[in-house]
Structure 1
Amino acid sequence: MSDLDLPALAERERAKARDEWKAPMKEIDAALVACTFGRFHIKLLSTAFVGFMAGILASSTTAYLLPSAECDLKMDLLQKGLLNAMPYVGMLISSVVAGFLTDAFGRKIFLGVGFIGLFIFQLIGGSSQTFEVLATAKFFEGLLYATAFSACVSLTAEFSYSSIRDRMLLCQSSFIAVSHVIIAAMSWGILTNDWKYSFFGGKFVLNTWNFYLYLMSLWALVAFIMYVFWLPESPKYLVTQKKYDQAREILISIYKENTGKPADTYPFYNIWKDKNKHSIDEAPERKAEMSIRHQIVEGLYNVKPMFQKPLVVYLAMTCCTNFIIMAMYNVLRLWFPQVSAIVENNPLTDGQDLCAVIDKYTSSLKPVILVNTTLADEICVPTKSGHETYINSIILGCVCIIPYVITAILVNRVGKKPLLIGASMISVASSLSLRWASNKIALVSFFSISVAIAQSMLSLNQAMTVEMFPTTTRTLAISMIMVIGRIGTLSGNIVFPIMLEISCAFPFYSISGCMVLVLVVALFLPSKKL
C-alpha cells in the first residue's frame, strides 16, 4: 500500500469507529430512562452542590476578607483589584485545555485533581502572611476549579436522560445562588469575630480571615471525597472509549440504586455484550493503540466538527452571549457590596437617585485617598463590613433562587430559547432601572433582579450548549464559552470603575445596551437539538 493511501485509510477507520459508538450512544438514553430518577440522581446533585460551593468560594471569599485583611497584608486599592482578579486569570489559563483533556481522558480524573488541588491551595491561602502568597494561592484556586467545572457540568448532563436533563442542569445552576446565601451567612458568622493567634515569636500570625479561609477549604475536601468515592465515570465517555463492559455495569448499578430491584430485572441487562466480546478479542491491539499520544490525536480529531459549520457559528454566538452575560453578572455581583456600603454611608434622600450618590462619592474619592495615605504609616485601622452588607448579600442570594424555580417549571413547556429571550428583556429593563433607584429597597430589588436573571441566563446558555454539541466535544464547548465569559468578567471589572469616574449613568446604559445585543443574538440560536 502506498503512502498516498494512508490518509484515506485512516479516514475510513475513523468513520468506522464513529459508526460503532453512535448506536450505543443512542441506546444510553433509553437505558437511563429505564433506570428512572431516584437516589442516584439525588446523590449526583448533592455532590454537584458541594463542588459548586467549593468553586464559588475560590472567587467569592476575596470580597468578604478584603476589609479584614487590608492592614495585615498592607494592600492598596490596586492590590485589592488584582486579588479579586487572580482566580479568573487562573480560570482563563486552564479552562479550554482542561475541557479538551476531559473529553479525551474522562471526567473523574479531572474532578479529583481539581478539587484536591483546590483544597490544598485554599489551605496555603489561609496560611499566607503576605499579599504575594495569597494572590498566588488565589490564582491556582481559579486554575484548579476551572479544571473541575466543565467535568462537573458534563457529568451531571451525561447521567441524566433527555426528558430530565434540562431540569437537572437548571437545578445544578441554582446551586450558585444558594451558595452565595450560605457564603454570606458563613462570612457574617466568622468574620465578625476577633480571633488572633501568634506563633514563633510573632513571625506567623493567624487572624480571623485566616481561619475563615481554613474553614471554607473544607468544602473542596468534601467535594473531592464525594466525586472520587461516591460517583462512577460517565457511561457516555466510556462508550466513546469502547469500554462497554464498564458502562453496562455502571448503568446496572444506577438501576439497582434507583429502583431497589435486582439487576436481572433491568431491561438493558445484556446491553452491548456482543460488543464486549469483540472488544476483548481486540484487547492487545487496542491496549497498544490507546496510548496517551493516540488519545490526544483522537481527541483533536473528534473536536474538528466543532470548528465547521453549523457548530462553529453556534459556538461563536454562545460565546458572545456568555461574554456579555458573565460580564454583567459578575460586575453587578462583585460591586454590589461596595455600592451598598456607599449608600449606607451616604443615605439616599428625597430627590436623589443612585447616580447622584455615586457621582458625589467618586468626586470626593481622590481627596480622601490623599488624606488617608498620609496617615497610613502611623496606624492602619481596618474598616469591617457592617451587618447591612451581609444582610443585603443574603437577600440578593435568596432572590436569585426564584428564577431557577420558575425556569425549571417552564423549560420543558416553553423551551430554552423563548426563556432566554424573555430573560434578556427583563434584564434590559432591570439594569436600566438601577440608574434611577431612589431608595435602599429599590436599590436592593433592582440589583437582585438583575443578578438573578443573569444567573438564569447563564444556566440556559449552558443547557443550550450541552444540547447543541455532541459528547466528544461537549466539555470543550462548555470550557470555551466559560473562558470567553471569564474574559468578559475581567474586562467588565476593569472597565466598570473607569466608566463610573466618567459618569455613573454611563455603565448602566452600557450594560443595558449590551443586554439588547444578547437579545438579538438569542433570536438566531437554534430552538431544538441539532
Structure 2
Amino acid sequence: MVNQIASLSFSVENNHGGKEGTADFEKAIKLCGYGRFHYCFLFLCGAMFICVGCQNGINAYILPSAECDLNLSSEQKGLLNVSFLVGGVISSLFWGVFADAYGRRYILLLTMLFDSILSIGGSLSQSFQVLLIFRALNGFFIGAPGSLIYTYLGEFHAEKQRVKSICYVGFFWTLSWLILPGLAWIIIPLPISLQFNGILYNSWRLFLAMIGIPTLMVTLVATRYPESPKFLISQGKTEEALAILRKIFAINTGQHEDEYPVKILLPDDTVNTSNNKTALSGSGILTELLKNIWQQMRSLASPPLLQYALLTWAIYFTNMFGYYGLGLWLPELFNRFENYHNQYPNRTVSVCRLMHETDLQRIATPPPNILVESPTAMSNCSPNMDKMVFINSLTINAFCLLGNIASGYLANRVGRRTMPVTTMLLAGAFGFGIYFVRSSLQILIVTCLFSLTIVTANFVMGSIVVDIFPTRVGAVAMCMMTCFGRIGAIASNLAFGMLLDISCEVPIFLVGGLVILGGLLALMLPRKKS
C-alpha cells in the first residue's frame, strides 16, 4: 500500500513537468518509504548519542574519587570540568567544516574511534596534568558526534519525518543520563585496587574506561551504514546517492532495488563543483580546507542565513546557560537540603538562606575521605557519596524522557516556533521558582519541571537548525550552534562560581531571565522552511 501511494505521488509530480524517472532528493527519499532501515538507523544514532551523553556527564561521578586519589583541589576539579567544555568549543567549527567538506559519516567514525581510545587511555592517568589533557581531548573529539548526529540523522529522512526523528533521538541523550548514575552506583564503590609497573588502577578509572568500550562497539556497527545521500547529492555524487537510496528502498519495502522508481537524481541547486580531493599534498589539503572554510562562512554570512544563524546561536546559548548553570549546581543543593532536614526535621529554609548560613554549609560538607588500608594507598580512597544524589538524578532524567516523547509526537502537529517558545518560557519561569522553594521535595518537583522543559527546547532547536539551513552549510551551522551552547555552559559555570558567594539571588534570576530571553527570541524563527 505504501509503495502504491509512493508510486502514485511520483506519477502525479511528474505530471507537473518533471521528467519520467527523475527526482530531487526530497521526492527520492519519500519514495524510499519509512521502515526497517530508518528504525535501525534511528537506534544507531541513539546509541551514538548515549555515548556522547555519558562522556558529557562522567566528570560528576569520577571527580569525587579522583579528588582523593590525585589530591585534587577545588580549582583543579573546576579546571577538569572546564577543559572538557573548552575542548568541545575549539572543535565545533573545525569538525563542522570538515563534515561539510568530507562527509558526515567519515568524521563521525573518526572522532568516535579516537574518543573511545582516549577514554580508555585516560583511565590510566596517574596525575592531574595527564588527566586534564585527556579530558580536554575527549571534549575535542566527542564534540563532533555531539553536533553532527542531528545532521547525519536528519539527512536520511524526508521533511515530514525529519523533525520527529531528531526529537526522538534526544530520548537517548536523556537515557544516557539515567544509565550513567546507575552504572556509577554499581562500579565506583567496588573495592578494586590494582598496581602494575607503577600504575595504579581502581574503580573510578575502570568506570572511565567502561564509557569508552561501548563507544568503540557503536563505531564498529556504524561502519556498516552509508554516507548521507543528501550530502553526496550536494557534492554532485548523484550516482553514489542513488545507489544508497535504492538499498534503503529495498530494506524498507522488501522489494528489489531495481524496482525503485527513481532512475536519475537531480543535482542540488548548490553543488560543490570543486571536490577533487585526491592526490593532494599537505599544503593542498590545507588550501582546500581554508577554501571550504571561506566558502561556508561566506554562505552563512549571506542573507537570510546570517540572521537565522545568529538567532539560533543566541537561543542555544541561553538554553545551555540555564541547563548547565542550574544542572551542575543542583546536586550540591540537594545535598544541603538533605543534611539540613536530617538535622532540623521540623524546619523549612529557603535556598538562599541555606547557601548563606555558614553553619549549614558546615553541615553540608561531606565527611573526610577514609583510607581503607595504609596512609599511602591513595587508590583505596572511598568518598561517601550520598545515595540521594543518584536517586534525584535518576528521577529528574526519567521525568525528562516525557519531554522527548512529547516533542516527537508534537513535531508535525504544532508550528515550528511553538515548542521552543513555550518550553523556554516555562523553563525560565521554573528557574525563577527555585528561589521560592523551601524543601528538598519542592526543589525536586521544580527541578523536574525545569529540566523537562529546557531539555525539550534543546532537542527541538537541533531539529529546527537541520530544517532551516541548506545541506552545504548545515553541519557548520549546527556545530557553531553547539559551540555557542558550550560557551553558554562555561559562562554559567563561571557566573555561578563568582556570584554565589556575593549573592545567591543573582545567579538564580540571571538563569531565569536569560532562558526567558531565549524563548522570546524564538518568536523570530521563520515559520516555513527557507
- TM-score category (smaller protein): 0.7 to 0.9
Structure 1 residues 302 and 425, CA, compared in 2 at 3 Å: closer, same or farther?
A: closer
Whether 1:55 aligns to 2:52 is yes
Whether 1:216 aligns to 2:211 is yes
Equivalent pair of 1:104/1:299 in contact (CA under 8 Å): no
CA deviation string 1:162-208 (max 9, x = no partner): 000010000112221111001111111111222111223xx211111
Structure 2 counterpart SS, 1:412: coil
Once the two structures are TM-superposed, the CA of residue 109 in structure 1 deviates from its matched residue by 1.3
In structure 2, the partner of 1:12 is none
Structure 1 residues 179 and 367, CA, compared in 2 at 3 Å: closer, same or farther?
A: closer
In structure 2, the partner of 1:206 is 201
How do 1:258-273 residues align onto structure 2 when only pairs under 5 Å count?
258-268=252-262, 270-272=263-265
Name the CA distance, whole Å, in 2 between partners of 1:187 and 1:258: 39
Name the CA distance, whole Å, in 2 between partners of 1:286 and 1:206: 44
Once the two structures are TM-superposed, the CA of residue 264 in structure 1 deviates from its matched residue by 2.2
Name the CA distance, whole Å, in 2 between partners of 1:413 and 1:519: 20
Once the two structures are TM-superposed, the CA of residue 106 in structure 1 deviates from its matched residue by 0.7
Equivalent pair of 2:37/2:251 in contact (CA under 8 Å): yes
Which stretch shifts more, 359-368 or 53-62? Answer: 359-368
CA deviation string 1:305-331 (max 9, x = no partner): 210222111111111111110011112
Equivalent pair of 1:238/1:244 in contact (CA under 8 Å): yes
Once the two structures are TM-superposed, the CA of residue 224 in structure 1 deviates from its matched residue by 1.3
How do 1:43-192 residues align onto structure 2 when only pairs under 5 Å count?
43-192=40-189
Instruction: Give the AA of the match of 2:195.
Output: S
Which stretch shifts more, 133-142 or 304-313? Answer: 304-313
Instruction: Give me the identity figure in percent.
Output: 26
Structure 1 residues 299 and 236, CA, compared in 2 at 3 Å: closer, same or farther?
A: farther
Equivalent pair of 1:174/1:404 in contact (CA under 8 Å): yes
In structure 1, runs of 5+ residues without a counterpart are 1-23
In structure 1, the partner of 2:433 is 433
Structure 1 residues 299 and 483, CA, compared in 2 at 3 Å: closer, same or farther?
A: closer
Name the CA distance, whole Å, in 1 between partners of 2:242 and 2:359: 62
Once the two structures are TM-superposed, the CA of residue 27 in structure 1 deviates from its matched residue by 1.3
Equivalent pair of 2:354/2:360 in contact (CA under 8 Å): no
Once the two structures are TM-superposed, the CA of residue 363 in structure 1 deviates from its matched residue by 7.8
Once the two structures are TM-superposed, the CA of residue 142 in structure 1 deviates from its matched residue by 0.6
Once the two structures are TM-superposed, the CA of residue 470 in structure 1 deviates from its matched residue by 0.4
Equivalent pair of 1:50/1:222 in contact (CA under 8 Å): no
Once the two structures are TM-superposed, the CA of residue 365 in structure 1 deviates from its matched residue by 6.1
How do 1:54-453 residues align onto structure 2 when only pairs under 5 Å count?
54-200=51-197, 203-227=198-222, 229-268=223-262, 270-272=263-265, 292=285, 293-294=287-288, 297=291, 300-347=294-341, 349-360=346-357, 364=361, 382-453=382-453
Equivalent pair of 2:108/2:145 in contact (CA under 8 Å): yes
Equivalent pair of 1:342/1:361 in contact (CA under 8 Å): no
Name the CA distance, whole Å, in 2 between partners of 1:516 and 1:241: 40
Name the CA distance, whole Å, in 1 between partners of 2:291 and 2:305: 21
Name the CA distance, whole Å, in 2 between partners of 1:340 and 1:233: 45
Structure 1 residues 478 and 26, CA, compared in 2 at 3 Å: closer, same or farther?
A: farther
Name the CA distance, whole Å, in 1 between partners of 2:501 and 2:23: 56
Structure 2 counterpart SS, 1:346: helix
Equivalent pair of 2:368/2:383 in contact (CA under 8 Å): no
Equivalent pair of 1:431/1:512 in contact (CA under 8 Å): yes
Q: Normalising by structure 1, what TM-score?
A: 0.87
Structure 1 counterpart SS, 2:255: coil
Instruction: Give the AA of the match of 1:245.
Output: E
Once the two structures are TM-superposed, the CA of residue 272 in structure 1 deviates from its matched residue by 3.5
The counterpart of 2:38, out of the listed 38, 41, 47, is: 41
Structure 1 residues 319 and 508, CA, compared in 2 at 3 Å: closer, same or farther?
A: same
Query: RMSD in angstroms over aligned alpha carbons?
Result: 2.9
Greater per-residue helix proportion: 1
Once the two structures are TM-superposed, the CA of residue 299 in structure 1 deviates from its matched residue by 5.8
Name the CA distance, whole Å, in 1 between partners of 2:199 and 2:275: 56
CA deviation string 1:236-261 (max 9, x = no partner): 11112221211111000111111111
Report the count of equivalent residues: 493
Equivalent pair of 2:425/2:520 in contact (CA under 8 Å): no
Name the CA distance, whole Å, in 2 between partners of 1:144 and 1:455: 23
In structure 1, the partner of 2:467 is 467
Which stretch shifts more, 157-166 or 290-299? Answer: 290-299
Structure 1 counterpart SS, 2:352: helix
Equivalent pair of 2:335/2:364 in contact (CA under 8 Å): no
Name the CA distance, whole Å, in 1 between partners of 2:391 and 2:441: 13
In structure 2, the partner of 1:508 is 508
Which stretch shifts more, 42-51 or 82-91? Answer: 42-51
Instruction: Give the AA of the match of 2:450.
Output: S
Instruction: Give the AA of the match of 2:483.
Output: V
CA deviation string 1:68-103 (max 9, x = no partner): 121111101001111111111111111111101110
CA deviation string 1:484-510 (max 9, x = no partner): 110110010111122221222221111
Equivalent pair of 1:404/1:456 in contact (CA under 8 Å): yes
Once the two structures are TM-superposed, the CA of residue 335 in structure 1 deviates from its matched residue by 2.0
